[in-house]
Amino acid sequence: MQIPFLDIYITDATVITIVTVILFIINFLLAGGLVFLERRSAQSVWAWILVLFFLPIVGFILYMLFGRTIYRQDLFKLDEDDKVGLEHLVSEQLEEIKHNRLTFSNAVAEKHKKQIHMLLYNNQSFVTSNNDVTTFTDMNNKFAQMLKDIENAEDHIHFQYYIFKLDNIGKELYRALLKKQKEGVSVRILYDDIGSRSLSLRNFSDIRDAGGLVEAFFPSKLPLINPRINNRNHRKIVVIDGKIGYIGGANVGDEYLGRDPKMGAWRDTHLRIEGNAVKSLQLRFMLDWNSHDTRNNMKHEDHYFPEIDSVGETTMQIASSGPDEDYQQIKYGYLKMIYRAQHTIHIQSPYFIPDQSIMEAIRIAILSGVKVKIMIPSFPDHPFVYWATYSNVASLMKMGAEVYMYQPGFLHQKVFIIDDEVVSVGTTNVDNRSFILNFEVNAFMYDDEEAVKHRKIFEEDIKHCEILTAEKYEKRGLWIKMKEGLANLISPIL
């Protein structure tokens, strides 16, 4: 090709070279602007640099889908009246802790005031002490009780899940919610658009026609593509009449009841709470709901936050975290627990891909004589994630941690216990995805009875585990070693 008025000829190869150079420059500028100008760990920066430069253009598309940072802005907001009430409660409790006026009936909560202060100050997680907690390790029992509570609902049902499948248990819950909506009980359903990708608002037409409200979190306006695919609302929250709350690891689907032959006897942990901690769950649901339904915003109304007589003695905080936050709130809670531990640390998580801060804290605990026990599944549901998990727990096993691999089915609960004193149960895995990318929620309980109960559950689970030994780990084949190496390389962005 000849350029007019110039005695210059451009070959097809030259055009390709020019285009390649231009695309490389654009990719370089975008990499610098998008990665270095956003807050993220050095590990994550280097991982994304590898992706962007080894996969030009394709890497940029992947970054736009999976790597962008969310800024708080107006995503989660409260009306001024609600905000004033929350800030007053938080500031009042902070002031009481500061002047040593906030006292607790149990010695464990008194002992762990610093952690309570941290979550209160940094996460506005107000502390409550009148809670009664029921723990479910069999999700058949959990959903059976939830259906009873739904049937007895008188005012409202707020239902939020990452995964909501309209299979057998899903349809049973759907029918129960529809029945209550027709009876005049207000029903709101919030599901994650990625986690529940088989759903659309059309699936809830009966409930919506009856007056119920349904929303998807970060819904996509593009078919088959969701620009927010990497930022998932992983929370599982149910609030009934402002008096009963559910929080834990299990979603809505038949596999969570052990009905999937591939996943086997599903092992999860979920809590049913009565007491003032339900107000925290209600507030979290309200914030999540208002972020996506501007026409039917929830207001701070008395029937959402009824007065609750003392029903129990468990002291707890409901902490939440997400990519909109400046701090990794729940990770900080885990770190504080690890550094506070004097005797034992028990961890159950399906995914164990922590950042350097968590790994170093656990190593320090082991070297300090703290007995560390970690339980993971014995087979993967996400291969790369599993092999990174396997490699991480093996490195701690070599230092003296006891690592157990659950055999009967998939282990999915997220439980963290220290010293038979503090226990955390919720949706947060021990990995960067939960700490940085997902929206999560956990209950931190400062109660020796609850901690001992969960430690005994852990010990019962050990009976169904195979212990990971150095001999077993060293016998892994070359193929597994290669998968571990690749998984570790990309673990900051898994």
Which pLDDT tens digits describe the chain residue by residue (494 residues)?
444 544 555 555 676 777 777 767 766 665 666 555 555 555 666 666 666 666 666 666 666 655 555 554 445 554 544 544 555 667 778 777 777 777 787 899 999 999 998 998 876 788 999 999 999 999 999 999 999 999 999 999 999 999 999 999 999 999 999 999 999 999 999 999 999 988 999 999 999 999 999 999 988 776 666 666 778 999 999 999 999 999 999 999 999 999 999 899 999 999 999 999 999 999 999 999 998 877 888 888 899 999 988 889 999 999 999 988 888 999 999 999 999 999 999 999 999 999 899 999 999 999 999 999 999 999 877 777 888 898 899 999 999 999 999 999 999 999 999 999 999 999 999 998 899 889 999 999 999 999 999 999 999 999 999 999 999 888 877 877 777 777 666 665 55
> Which CA distances in Å does 234 have to 258, 282, 424, 438?
21, 16, 16, 6
In the residue annotation, 171 being an active-site residue is answered as no
Q: How far apart are CA 50 and CA 48, in angstroms?
A: 5
Cβ-contact 247, 443 below 8 angstroms: yes
Backbone angles phi, psi at 90, to 5 degrees: -65, -50
Residue 241 annotated to the active site = yes
Question: Is 331 tagged catalytic?
Answer: no
Q: Find the catalytic residue in 149, 192, 193, 241.
A: 241
Q: Is 288 a catalytic residue?
A: no
Which of 412, 420, 454, 461 is labelled catalytic? 412
The structure's pTM equals 0.85
Secondary structure element (H or E) that encloses residue 377, with its range: strand 371-377
Collapse the DSSP code of 238 into the 3-class scheme (helix H, G, I; strand E, B; otherwise coil) and give the result.
strand
Whether 419 is a known active-site residue: answer yes
Q: Is the Cβ–Cβ distance between 348 and 411 less than 8 Å?
A: yes
For residue 126, the one-letter residue type is F
From 156, 158, 234, 373, the catalytic residue: 234
Contact 240, 306 (CB under 8 A): no
Q: How would you class 416 by CB atoms within 10 Å of its CB: exposed for 0-12, middle for 13-18, buried for 19 or more?
A: buried
Active site residue 309: no
